[in-house]
Amino acid sequence: MTDIATEPEIHNADVPGAEIPGADRPVRRPVHPAIEVWHHFRKNWGAVGGLVIIVLVIFVAIFADVVAPHSPIEQFRDAFLTPPVWAEGGTSKFLLGTDDVGRDMLSRLIYGARFSLFIGLLVVVLSLGGGIVLGLTAGFFPGIIGDLILRLMDIMLAVPSLLLAIVIVAILGPSLTNAVMAVAIVYLPHFTRVCRAAVITELTKEYVTASRVAGARLMRLMFKTVLPNCMAPLIVLATLNVSSAILDAAALGFLGLGAQPPTPEWGSMLADAQEFVKRAWWVVTFPGLAVLITVLAFNLAGDGLRDALDPRLKQ
């Protein structure tokens, strides 16, 4: 899917000031890593397409008040289950039709983008933060503490993610915030393990020893010296996990354990729509399509980012 030609020689040649043998120029400054990543990233059509969709969804989510034609919870009593505009009986007032209590589908989907993005990003920020702290600790203290952390993560991995999330929601009670917490906890082991693996590799390098010899304290060593060099795999994991987080939170919403009605969250919209499978296909089709497109966009962009950050991983 994500095949991009990564040939550093050619790539360096388009950068202004590239070294030309015998040229009477100063040696070029190294390209900023972010720019280099972007150079790789933009060659991948799928990834760029994913990024465009993500930007679009973010835009729609931020400006939902302006973009949405109606309020997401306003009920039009004269328009229950109106089909989309192109179907028979549809009106241009409700472009994607209305649901069983006369709410505009399009507006609900637009507001729903807020929830899905919020969920995806918050989950990843929480589990990334937690994973970094646990991973650094496990990496720096490989004895009992490290083993304990790793064992705990193994146990969490033994329970299927959705099931663990369901258990956590069952303990905390069903709500959007608790669903976010649950999914964030479930993703913790992945971040912890990736972070620890990276930390262990970095700890054997000389710059860490140098820093230690120079008298750097533990906190400085952990967060300023080692952590920045462990970020690449964590960033990739984070991007790819945004999509899983959106999916899992939608699944919880669908099972009635996430966002509660009348919140226009895509998963819980689908839960409400289930009984109209036979009568109103649009109520079922659009929320799921929104989830699919958003998740696909994050996966495409995540794959592209992975290849751009580490061409060796490219398969």
Partner 1 sequence: MLRYIATKLGLLIPTFFGVTLLTFSMVRLIPGDPVELMAGERGIAPERHAQLLAELGLDKPLLLQYFYYIVDVLTGDLGKSFVTKKPILVEFFTLFPATIELSICAILFALILGVPAGIIAAVRRGRVVDYTVMGVSLTGYSMPIFWWGLLLIILFSVNLGWTPVSGRISLIYFFEPVTGFMLIDTLLSGQEGAFRSALHHLVLPTVVLGTIPLAVIARMTRSAMLEVLSEDYIRTARAKGLRPWRVVAVHALRNAMIPVITVIGLQIGVLLAGAILTETIFSWPGVGKWLIESVRRRDYAALQGGILLIATFIILVNLIVDLLYALFNPRIRHARH
Give whichever of 233 and 288 is closer to partner 1, judged by the CB atom. 288
Which of 54, 117, 127, 119 is CA-nearest to residue 302? 54
- Per the CB < 8 A criterion, the answer to whether 78 and 104 are in contact is no
Q: How many helices (H) and strands (E) does the chain have?
A: 13, 0
Between CA 103 and CA 68 the distance in angstroms is 12
Work out whether 243 is an interface residue with partner 1 (CB under 8 A): yes
Determine if 308 is a binding residue for partner 1 (CB under 8 A).
no
> Is residue 145 close enough to count as binding partner 1 by CB under 8 A?
no
Q: Which of 182, 195, 284, 308 binds partner 1 (CB under 8 A)?
A: 284
Binding of residue 192 to partner 1 (CB under 8 A): no
257 scored as a contact of partner 1 (CB under 8 A): yes
Asked if 159 interacts with partner 1 (CB under 8 A), we say yes
In this chain, which stretch among 19-27, 103-111, 120-128, 244-252 interacts with partner 1, using CB under 8 A? 244-252
Q: Which is closer to partner 1, CB of 20 or CB of 163? A: 163
**CB nearer to partner 1: pick between 157 and 203:** 157
Per CB under 8 A, 267 contacts partner 1: yes
Which H helix or E strand runs over 267?
Answer: helix 266-273
User: Per rule CB under 8 A, is residue 250 in the interface with partner 1?
Assistant: yes
How many other CB atoms sit within 10 Å of the CB of residue 198?
21
Choices 24-32, 91-99, 133-141, 154-162 (CB under 8 A): range interacting with partner 1: 154-162
* 305: contact with partner 1 by CB under 8 A: no
Q: Residue 87, interface with partner 1 (CB under 8 A)?
A: no
Q: Which stretch binds partner 1 (CB under 8 A): 75-83, 176-184, 214-222, 282-290?
A: 282-290
Contact 176, 259 (CB under 8 A): yes
The CA-to-CA distance between both ends of the chain, in Å, stands at 9
- Residue among 151 and 224 whose Cβ is closer to partner 1: 151
- Under DSSP, the state recorded for 75 is -
- Given the complex with partner 1, which of 54 and 230 has the nearer CB atom? 54
Query: Residue 228: is the preceding peptide bond cis (ω within 30°)?
Result: no
Residue showing tokens 């399509």: 289
Q: Does residue 291 touch partner 1 according to CB under 8 A?
A: yes
Residue 19 to residues 26, 38, 139, Cα–Cα distance (Å)? 9, 21, 40
- Smallest distance, partner 1 to C-beta of residue 309, A: 18
As a whole number of angstroms, the distance between CA 192 and CA 137 comes to 9
Where would I find the H helices in 174-265? 176-203, 206-213, 218-219, 227-254
| Residue span binding partner 1 (CB under 8 A) among the ranges 33-41, 92-100, 156-164, 225-233 | 156-164
Question: Least distance to partner 1 from the beta carbon of 21, Å?
Answer: 32
Which residue type occupies 233? P
Six-digit token string for 116: 């899905």
Judge contact between 98 and 105, C-beta under 8 A.
yes
Q: Note whether 167 binds partner 1 by CB under 8 A.
A: yes
Q: How many residues bind partner 1 (CB under 8 A)?
A: 47
Give, in order, the Cα–Cα distances in Å from 179 to each of 83, 129, 168, 267: 32, 18, 8, 12
Q: Give me the residues that bind partner 1 (CB under 8 A), please.
A: 1, 3, 46, 151-152, 154-155, 157-163, 166-167, 169-171, 243, 247, 250-251, 254-257, 267, 270, 273-274, 277-278, 281, 284-285, 287-289, 291-292, 295-296, 299-300, 303, 315
